[in-house]
Structure formats: C-alpha cells, structure tokens
Amino acid sequence: MKRSKMSEAELLKRSFCKAMVEIATQIRQIPTKEQMKQYALVIPHIKEAATTFNSWLIDEDLVEPSNRIAWFYEEQSIFEEAEKWYLYSCELVTEKLGGDHPDIATCLNNLALLYRTQGHQAAEVGGESLCCCHNSQQSSRTLLFPGAVC
C-alpha cells in the first residue's frame, strides 16, 4: 500500500513539474502589462517546481523554469532577483548535468546579458571571469567570453 502511494506521489510531482514547465515556456521576455499580471499569479508555483521539485524535472526542462522566472524579474527591473535566478540556473545545471553541459553556456549568456543591461562590462561568476562585448556593427549582439580579460 505504501509503495503504491509513493508511485502516485511521484507521478503527481512529475505531472506538476511538467505543467509548470509548459506554463513557464509561455512567459515572454518582453511581456505586456496584462501578461505580467497573469505571470505574477503562477510565478510562486513555477518557483516551487524550479526549487523544491527540481528532481522531477526532466533534463531538457531543467533550466526553463528558473530562466523564465529570471526574465519575469528582469522585465520589471528587479535585477537582484533576476540575477539570483540566473545564478541558480547555472548552479542547477552544473550540479545535475555537469559543468560542461551546453545549457551552461545559455545560463552564463543570460547572466552576461543581465549584467550588460545594468551597464557592467565584466563580472565574475563561480570563479570565471565573464566579459560582455558589444559588437559595434550589430548593436543587439552580445558575446560572452568565459575567462576573458576585459
């Protein structure tokens, strides 16, 4: 009896995480005010999936909730909270998938873009120096160079 309850509980946790990832993927990087109001209602649940229940996220969905939470805060200019979620995303990928996983590059790039938004030229994350470079011919492009000297 106890064993079947555990299986049911695990199924519910996986289903919850899957649903939260699906909702998180609807969060846009530049949302309307109406969308921001809608997102605010689900952010606490997405946070729960990203933290408490991250063991039930499948590998390819691991960073999605935390990155979308960071976008939500970044769009509101709540940069400290956005940074916290981008850093969490980097830590989670490193812990669960390894430091050489391709999602690390995405996480670090998101962090570098956040720092650039705040006017920083370089920052240190986990002992790595990040340098945000601005391409003068394509002003919207940001390049990230781990270990670069700026």
**Residue 137 pLDDT > 70:** no
| Tokens encoding 17 | 């995480």
| Tokens encoding 85 | 């979620």
State pLDDT tens for residues 42-95.
999 999 999 999 999 999 899 999 999 999 999 999 999 999 999 999 999 999
Residue for token pair 């990087």? 29
**Residue 129 pLDDT > 70:** no
Beta strands in the chain (DSSP E): 122-125, 128-134, 142-144
Average pLDDT for 5-26: 91
State pLDDT tens for residues 20-40.
999 999 998 888 899 999 999
Interhelix angle 33-50/64-75, rounded to 10 degrees, is 140
Is residue 119 very low, low, confident or very high in pLDDT (cuts 50, 70, 90)? Answer: confident
Residue for token pair 């289903």? 15
Handedness of CA 107, 85, 35, 31 (dihedral sign): negative
* Average pLDDT value over all residues in the chain: 81
Provide the residue count of the chain. 150
Tell me, what's the pLDDT at 121? 58
